[in-house]
Amino acid sequence: MKLMTGNSNLPLARAIADYLEIPLTDALVRRFADEEIFVEINENVRGEDVFVLQSTSYPANDNLMELLICIDALRRASARRITAVVPYFGYARQDRKSGSRTPISAKLVANLITGAGANRVLSVDLHAGQIQGFFDIPTDNLFAAPVMSVDILARHSARNMMVVSPDVGGVVRARALAKRLNNAPLAIVDKRRERAGESEVMNIIGDVEGRFCILIDDIVDSAGTLCNAAAALKEAGAAGVVAYVTHGVLSGGAIARVEGSVLEELVITDSIGNHDTIAQAGRVRHLTIAPLIAEAIRRIADETSVSSLFD
């Protein structure tokens, strides 16, 4: 087994390599003067089981091209099996036609990864579970809920907890986390999105009076939805609100928005390599998923069950 990485999230790649007690594959991933990407693998990978770690986060197109070129280089170097480990799968929110004459970009990206030569894909908390069906190769979708539940129980078990989904689409995810938190009660924020990037909270389904609310979501981008949901929960009588989100995209003024909100804390995983930016934020904290991904990689390499990680 070999572990190779692009440039999108080197700290996570090193943490996974340390957990597996293997070195990162010696490879050069650089750019020419005109920003063309060049990959050179400096060790033998013939007949090897190679895992390529690369989140397709900002800059999404550059990181996606790095992943595709790394896969192509490994295929031409006669690697036995290539697994694309994509902790954050970019373009996942474009998983259906949102209107007339619009693309399904998540399917296009799936085709690109498959066409480049990947034999299987490993990701974490895909925006929609059906994206697994966009691939014609085996695809494993890991869940960050076990990591989050351990952290929540360690920090907030003494409080009167309630798990809250910030929209109707995240109810399944919220229910799975609530089950891990000793069957905590569940509430839903009903919102209406007037235009892209903006959200308006309309109603809260469930009694949050006096409860410590835990908002759970897969992606936080502008943070508008989370901050509006947190404000609505406080207005409804919630004792406190924290948010746990798998992928911290945090674009534009998202961090400033979180800092100025009623959220006590925003906890994100390290699926996206924005560590320096997050380190300057007072209310944003990282939670590592390196052991989760590393254990899944080990099980794929050993041909044992990955789903048993979540039993």
Q: Is the peptide bond before 138 cis (omega within 30 degrees of 0)?
A: no
Return the axis-axis angle of helices 290-301 and 10-20, rounded to nearest 10°: 50
Q: Which of 97, 179, 191, 234 is catalytic?
A: 191
Q: Cβ contacts of residue 216 below 8 Å, gap of 6+?
A: 148, 163, 164, 165, 166, 170, 173, 174, 177, 243, 244, 245
C-alpha to C-alpha distances, 30 to 54, 102, 112, 218, 292, nearest whole angstrom: 14, 33, 21, 31, 29
Nearby residues of 169 by Cβ (< 8 Å), 6 or more positions away: none
Angle at 63 between CA 126 and CA 76, to 5 degrees: 100
CA separation (Å) from 175 to 152, 163, 217, 253?
15, 8, 11, 30
Q: Say how far apart CA 288 and CA 273 lie, in whole Å.
A: 11
For the beta sheet containing 265-269, the strands, ordered from the edge strand earlier in sequence to the opposite edge, are 198-205, 186-195, 161-165, 212-220, 240-248, 265-269, 284-287
| Rg of the chain in Å (alpha carbons) | 20
Q: Is 191 a catalytic residue?
A: yes
Tell me the catalytic residues.
191
